[in-house]
């Protein structure tokens, strides 16, 4: 069995790790660095990846691509707002994001592939053997196309991606929390630009993700920005210099601020010194840890809301969390540790390097797949509910949000129109009640159904999500056996912000959503009763008294008058009155149908006898 490495393909930094005996180890480059900056530069001398690319970022901003993970599996529409934050050129009019470098255009998976390739080569050099198989981690909220794009990146880099694993699951594995007999784990991941919280359940060596939440634009970079703003004001006050427009000075300040912030994680005070010869002064200032803590306190507080939401989603109180795991460089900040400890009421695990823990866990997962560890199963979770559109534009959920994957769900549907031979299947993702408010993932048709009265066909819809989070939808008409299916590979995915927004909106709109869903359902029921009554009146015209027919006609007209309106109660009452008015007619029709059936049976028997 060839070796499988574990890769943390991060927004800021990427790492590769492997299992050495019983313990996972990260693999350093020739200079001993384990973190590979997720930066790729296209220069006149060729392509640079990692530290070398990062170093020339200021000089070559338009040809140096960073944070490419934010663009994975997305279309231009998804990122057009974010585009202005990046100095490189993100192209319009494409379903898949493309980045312009020199004369060529590259896609995010291609850029990520260059990072993966560098890690692959690093591993091969260190291990002294070719590396062709990998496990790659992604955030738990990554949707189908983002996971797909990550797999594509692996393929482009010449890696056979054995599994896409959620980052929090990997982090828990690195801490060996599978050895817990039973427990609930919170994984708090605060990196450079993103924050994720995940709640996992561990039972008898099995991991299950109960809930995830986070903020895709919150992290250590925001701490740096807060400090830079404070420094700019201080420089203005002491030297009268306005450096905000000086790009080079700003870059120096940003790097200096980040370095000072990191030192202050281990020291109470530090001295910040930067010469600005072009402005004729050197800025020098002592900074206390407490100064920075005051600056970043609101940002740290900002991470606690999503933690509470995730707990609520998991149906748990903070006191029910047994273990807390810290991931991401920014969890080294003492204030962050304190606030996390206060929220969950216990000291978090922070023994392992928070930058390495995801890659280490990916290596453990790789070992499980390679057969080294046999008693463990990994389960992840769907970030948003999945379902199909049903009558009246309502979303019918098959797999609710935060369901553990792999998973499948089956439900029976039927037609709404007599003689319908084609059913349009519309696959949706999101938390809202109405189809139009959710994201459309795919449409396909189930054709060739035998014409039958409405409600007769039995259409079984199956949703299947594999261990990588890729969705397959099958539809089958059970009477005729006609089937259709589709693997859902949207041309581009949701933005993370959209996922958050959709979840947020579902809270905000919950009440009005339910009201409109109920209204639509009441209207659908009214339509069904109207159609059935009209059919029955046609069939039973000679079978009932004239005044009964008039009463039914009146009730029918009354329902038709309100059924398109918004007054649900009025529609419901009118439907009930019509139902009541037609009770006798229904009995008469049933009776005559029964008599007809008996008569035809007698005729058949008589015929049989004469034969």
Least gap, CB of 90 to ligand AMP (angstroms): 22
Is the CB of 154 or the CB of 192 nearer to ligand AMP?
A: 192
Kindly list the distances between the CA atom of residue 572 and the CA atoms of 84, 525, 563, 578, in Å, as whole numbers in the listed order: 52, 9, 9, 10
Alpha-carbon distance 431 to 434, whole Å? 9
Q: How many CB atoms lie within 10 A of CB 134?
A: 27
Is the CB of 191 or the CB of 540 nearer to ligand AMP?
A: 191
DSSP secondary structure letter of residue 82: G
Specify the residue for token string 């912000």. 497
Which of 327, 504, 382 lies closest to 431, judged by CA? 504
Least gap, CB of 272 to ligand AMP (angstroms): 15
Question: Which one of the spans 71-79, 255-263, 293-301, 476-484 is the region binding ligand AMP (CB under 6 A)?
Answer: 255-263
385 lies in the binding site for ligand AMP (CB under 6 A): no
Alpha-carbon distance 86 to 76, whole Å? 14
Kindly list the distances between the CA atom of residue 503 and the CA atoms of 79, 497, 498, in Å, as whole numbers in the listed order: 19, 10, 8
Asked about 189 being catalytic, the answer comes back as yes
261 lies in the binding site for ligand AMP (CB under 6 A): yes
Question: Which one of the spans 10-18, 19-27, 55-63, 84-92 is the region binding ligand AMP (CB under 6 A)?
Answer: 10-18
Is the CB of 156 or the CB of 262 nearer to ligand AMP?
A: 262
Specify the residue for token string 């006149």. 44
Least gap, CB of 393 to ligand AMP (angstroms): 41
Is the CB of 336 or the CB of 571 nearer to ligand AMP?
A: 336
Q: What angle do CA 229, 234, 235 make, to 5 degrees?
A: 95
Indicate which single residue of 109, 191, 348, 430 sits in contact with ligand AMP (rule: CB under 6 A).
Answer: 191
Candidates 144, 167, 258, 380; catalytic one: 167
Alpha-carbon distance 586 to 531, whole Å? 14
Indicate which single residue of 4, 13, 36, 477 sits in contact with ligand AMP (rule: CB under 6 A).
Answer: 13
330 lies in the binding site for ligand AMP (CB under 6 A): yes
Least gap, CB of 14 to ligand AMP (angstroms): 9
192 lies in the binding site for ligand AMP (CB under 6 A): yes
Question: Which one of the spans 9-17, 485-493, 518-526, 568-576 is the region binding ligand AMP (CB under 6 A)?
Answer: 9-17
333 lies in the binding site for ligand AMP (CB under 6 A): yes
Is the CB of 34 or the CB of 536 nearer to ligand AMP?
A: 34
Indicate which single residue of 152, 196, 221, 389 sits in contact with ligand AMP (rule: CB under 6 A).
Answer: 221
User: What does DSSP say about strands 377-378 and 206-215: parallel, antiparallel, or unpaired?
Assistant: parallel
Asked about 69 being catalytic, the answer comes back as yes
69 lies in the binding site for ligand AMP (CB under 6 A): no
Least gap, CB of 12 to ligand AMP (angstroms): 4
Q: Dihedral (C-alpha) 253, 259, 262, 264: value to the nearest 10 degrees?
A: -70
Candidates 29, 54, 69, 144; catalytic one: 69
Is the CB of 23 or the CB of 266 nearer to ligand AMP?
A: 266
Backbone Cα Rg of the chain: 31
String marking each residue 460-499 x if it binds ligand AMP according to CB under 6 A: ----------------------------------------
Indicate which single residue of 10, 109, 139, 490 sits in contact with ligand AMP (rule: CB under 6 A).
Answer: 10
Alpha-carbon distance 140 to 164, whole Å? 10
Indicate which single residue of 251, 265, 539, 579 sits in contact with ligand AMP (rule: CB under 6 A).
Answer: 265
How many whole angstroms from its chain centre is CA 287?
Answer: 40
Specify the residue for token string 């795991």. 325
Reduce the DSSP state of residue 122 to 3 states and report it. Answer: helix
Alpha-carbon distance 554 to 537, whole Å? 12
Alpha-carbon distance 488 to 472, whole Å? 6
Cα-Cα-Cα-Cα dihedral sign, residues 525, 531, 532, 534:
positive
How many residues bind ligand AMP (CB under 6 A)? The answer is: 18
Both tokens of residue 67?
């944070």
Least gap, CB of 221 to ligand AMP (angstroms): 6
Indicate which single residue of 47, 262, 586, 588 sits in contact with ligand AMP (rule: CB under 6 A).
Answer: 262
Is the CB of 67 or the CB of 415 nearer to ligand AMP?
A: 67
Indicate which single residue of 144, 196, 355, 513 sits in contact with ligand AMP (rule: CB under 6 A).
Answer: 355
168 lies in the binding site for ligand AMP (CB under 6 A): no
Is the CB of 323 or the CB of 355 nearer to ligand AMP?
A: 355
Specify the residue for token string 């790097």. 255
430 lies in the binding site for ligand AMP (CB under 6 A): no
329 lies in the binding site for ligand AMP (CB under 6 A): yes
Asked if 23 contacts 150 with a C-beta cutoff of 8 angstroms, the reply is no
Is the CB of 120 or the CB of 261 nearer to ligand AMP?
A: 261
Indicate which single residue of 24, 75, 108, 328 sits in contact with ligand AMP (rule: CB under 6 A).
Answer: 328
DSSP class per residue in 167-188:
HHHHHHHHTTGGGSSEEEEEEE
Indicate which single residue of 78, 144, 258, 527 sits in contact with ligand AMP (rule: CB under 6 A).
Answer: 258
**Residue 352 neighbours by CB under 8 Å, 6+ apart:** 174, 175, 360
Is the CB of 350 or the CB of 420 nearer to ligand AMP?
A: 350
Is the CB of 262 or the CB of 456 nearer to ligand AMP?
A: 262
Candidates 189, 221, 431, 527; catalytic one: 189
Indicate which single residue of 4, 12, 249, 292 sits in contact with ligand AMP (rule: CB under 6 A).
Answer: 12
Side-chain-facing half-sphere of 550: CA atoms under 13 Å = 3
Question: Which one of the spans 115-123, 330-338, 369-377, 563-571 is the region binding ligand AMP (CB under 6 A)?
Answer: 330-338
CA diameter of the chain: 121
Alpha-carbon distance 378 to 183, whole Å? 15
Beta bridge partners of 475: 461, 484
Alpha-carbon distance 109 to 146, whole Å? 10
Alpha-carbon distance 11 to 451, whole Å? 53
Residues that bind ligand AMP (CB under 6 A): 10, 12-13, 191-192, 219-221, 258, 261-262, 265, 328-330, 332-333, 355
Q: Which residues are catalytic?
A: 8, 69, 167, 189
């Amino acid at each position: 069995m060839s070796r499988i490495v574990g890769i943390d393909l991060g927004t800021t930094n990427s790492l590769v790790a492997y299992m050495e005996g019983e313990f996972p180890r990260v693999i350093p480059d020739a200079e001993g660095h384990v973190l590979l900056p997720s930066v790729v530069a296209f220069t006149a001398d060729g392509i640079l990846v990692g530290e070398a690319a990062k170093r020339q970022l200021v000089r070559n901003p338009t040809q140096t691509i960073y944070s490419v993970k934010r663009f994975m599996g997305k279309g231009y529409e998804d990122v057009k707002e974010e585009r202005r934050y990046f100095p490189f050129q993100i192209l319009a009019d494409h379903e898949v994001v493309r980045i312009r470098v020199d004369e060529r255009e590259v896609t995010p998976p291609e850029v990520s592939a260059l990072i993966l390739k560098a890690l692959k080569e690093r591993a091969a050099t260190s291990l002294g053997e070719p590396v062709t198989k990998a496990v790659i981690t992604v955030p738990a909220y990554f949707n189908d196309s983002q996971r797909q794009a990550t797999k594509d990146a692996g393929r482009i880099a010449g890696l056979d991606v054995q599994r896409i694993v959620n980052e929090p699951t990997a982090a828990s594995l690195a801490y060996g929390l599978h050895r817990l007999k039973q427990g609930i784990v919170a994984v708090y991941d605060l990196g450079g630009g993103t924050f994720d919280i995940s709640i996992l359940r561990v039972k008898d060596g099995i991991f299950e993700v109960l809930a995830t939440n986070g903020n895709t634009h919150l992290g250590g970079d925001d701490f740096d920005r807060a400090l830079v703003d404070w420094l700019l004001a201080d420089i203005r006050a002491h030297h009268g210099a306005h450096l905000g427009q000086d790009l080079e000075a700003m870059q120096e300040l940003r790097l200096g601020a980040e370095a000072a912030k990191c030192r202050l994680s281990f020291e109470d005070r530090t001295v910040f010194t930067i010469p600005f010869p072009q402005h004729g002064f050197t800025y020098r200032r002592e900074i206390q840890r407490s100064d920075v803590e005051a600056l970043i306190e609101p940002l740290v507080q900002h991470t606690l809301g999503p933690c509470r939401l995730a707990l609520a989603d998991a149906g748990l109180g903070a006191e029910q969390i047994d273990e807390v795991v810290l991931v991401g460089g920014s969890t080294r900040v003492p204030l962050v540790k304190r606030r996390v400890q206060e929220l969950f009421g216990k000291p978090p695990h922070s023994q392992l390097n928070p930058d390495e823990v995801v890659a280490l866990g990916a290596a453990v997962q790789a070992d499980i797949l390679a057969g080294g560890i046999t008693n463990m199963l990994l389960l992840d979770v769907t970030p948003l509910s999945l379902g199909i559109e049903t009558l009246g534009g309502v979303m019918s959920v098959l797999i609710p949000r935060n369901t553990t994957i792999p998973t499948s769900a089956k439900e029976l549907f039927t037609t709404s129109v007599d003689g319908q031979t084609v059913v349009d299947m519309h696959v949706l993702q999101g938390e809202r009640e109405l189809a139009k408010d959710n994201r459309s993932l795919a449409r396909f048709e189930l054709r060739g159904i035998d014409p039958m009265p409405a409600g007769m066909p039995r259409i079984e819809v199956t949703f299947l999500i594999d261990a990588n989070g890729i969705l397959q939808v099958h539809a089958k008409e059970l009477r005729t056996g006609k089937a259709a299916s589709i693997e859902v590979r949207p041309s581009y995915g949701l933005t993370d912000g959209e996922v958050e927004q959709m979840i947020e909106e579902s809270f905000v709109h919950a009440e009005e959503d339910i009201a409109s869903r109920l209204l639509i359902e009441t209207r659908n029921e009214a339509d069904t009763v109207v159609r059935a009554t009209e059919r029955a009146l046609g069939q039973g015209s000679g079978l009932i008294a004239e005044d009964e027919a008039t009463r039914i006609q009146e009730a029918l007209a009354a329902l038709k008058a309100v059924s398109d309106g918004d007054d649900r109660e009025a529609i419901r009452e009118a439907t009930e009155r019509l139902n009541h008015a037609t009770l006798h007619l229904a009995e008469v029709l049933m009776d005559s149908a029964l008599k007809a059936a008996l008569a035809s049976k007698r005729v058949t028997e008589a015929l049989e006898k004469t034969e």
